Amino acid sequence: MNPPSILIVDDEPNNFDVIETLLSVQGYQLYYASNGQEALSILDTVNPDLILLDVMMPGLNGIDVCKKIKADLQWKIVPIIMVTALSSKEDLALCLEAGADDFISKPVNRLELCARVKSMLRIKQQHDTIQHFSDLQRNTINVLGRNLQELTGNLVLSLSQELNTPVNGISSIIELLKVNIKNMDTVEVQLLLDLADQSAHRLEDVTNRFLLYLELELASLQPQSKPIEETYLPVATIQARLKSQAAKVNRKDDLVFDLQEIGVRLSKRYFLVILQELVDNALKFSQTGTKITIQSQVINGMLEISVHDQGRGMTKQQIAKVGAFMQFERPNQEQSGTGLGLAIIKKIVEGAKGKLTITSIYEKETTVNVSVPIKFV
């Protein structure tokens, strides 16, 4: 972090030397301007955190310079301490009316000067911190706004349906039970409750994916502050997880594994999300009985993971548009989903300094490749 910069404006070079001596032990970056016009002309170059401004100068006096600086939105927030030999209340009032934040009398006292400088720099630092968070918030809102605007059409087609379908299913089952439960046997009631449970799980899955995407979107806008997490998952654990996932759609035997035992620089949660989303897409968009191959190998310090399916494939145009809520040819397909899977993978991989690539032959096959850094040795 660069030291605070202070611009000293005084037509007497000796006064600069005095102030430089008084502030030298503080480690500030000091700049000098011999008159008001020069001070105004070097603001962009110096970008001061504080200005020490002499009142009595030929040409543009300190009060006029102060007014001009405070009238400029770019420099309005820079604190100005007026250095003056004047002592009347009227003169000091003129300094304050011009926009000065503080003043100090000549001859300058070292302790007083250091105290006032520290106070003003603290105020400037607090303002900069608030401004930083304000800019971050505004950028976050702008990015989310652009994304939401871009994705509105896809949200209407996919997310709303994915939310409404299970909600309507649950509501219909509850209404049916309320009206007919006295005339239904245990088997019928259990069947309806199972259907409601399935709808509830589907609703939970959609909600969790949407929240995860927002979490990743917000994380991508903030500087890295947390230590890098590392995960080691045995191959047997990964295979068991993915087979259990495939078993829910009766496709456990369709999975083929060729995995290398290695740890990665990712949280366990994110690593599992990548694997499960890759397999989920392959299961959705390929037929039962066709093989899905999950492979991994280490290349140049990166774990390269690939999932290949013999499904409907994607065109180059579709691959280029991979993003949140983007489902292709949905009217012609019966697959459910928000289209968030690949977008979530992409966000996680980019955050880990990895890479996502897709190769596909339309209506024949697709291979999704993900590379993430391996664990530190």
Q: What tokens does 26 get?
A: 């503080």
Q: Determine the CATH number of domain 5-108.
A: 3.40.50.2300
> Which pLDDT score, from 0 to 100, does residue 323 have?
56
User: Cβ of 33: how many Cβ atoms within 10 Å?
Assistant: 24
- The CATH number of domain 140-219 is 1.10.4160: no
> Which pLDDT score, from 0 to 100, does residue 211 have?
83
> Which pLDDT score, from 0 to 100, does residue 131 have?
79
> Which pLDDT score, from 0 to 100, does residue 141 have?
67
Domain segments of the chain as ranges: 5-108, 140-219, 231-373
> Which pLDDT score, from 0 to 100, does residue 291 have?
96
The class level of CATH for 231-373 reads: alpha beta
Sign of CA dihedral 212, 196, 245, 158: negative
Q: What is the 3-state secondary structure (H, E, C) of 75-107?
A: CCCCCEEEEECCCCHHHHHHHHHCCCCEEEECC
pTM for the structure as a whole: 0.53
Instruction: Write the Ramachandran bin of 276: left for phi over 0, alpha for psi from -120 to 50, otherwise beta.
Output: alpha
105-109 long-range CB contacts below 8 Å, 24 or more apart?
108/18, 108/19, 108/22, 108/83
Q: Which helix (H) or strand (E) holds 296?
A: strand 292-299
> Which pLDDT score, from 0 to 100, does residue 207 have?
83
List, for the chain, all residue ranges whose pLDDT scores fall below the cut of 50.
Answer: 156, 324-338
Q: Please, what is the end-to-end C-alpha distance for the chain in angstroms? A: 31
Question: Measured in whole angstroms, how far is the alpha carbon of residue 94 from the centre of its chain?
Answer: 46
Residues 207, 71: Cα–Cα separation, whole Å: 50
Concatenating the DSSP letter of every residue in 29-51 gives: EEEEESSHHHHHHTHHHH--SEE
The residue written with tokens 């105004």 in the block is 40
> Which pLDDT score, from 0 to 100, does residue 10 have?
92
> Which pLDDT score, from 0 to 100, does residue 45 have?
92
Strand order in the sheet with 80-84: 29-33, 5-9, 50-54, 80-84, 102-105
Look at residues 362, 357, 288, 358 and name the one whose alpha carbon lies nearest to residue 329. 362
Amino acid at 88: S
> Which pLDDT score, from 0 to 100, does residue 337 have?
44
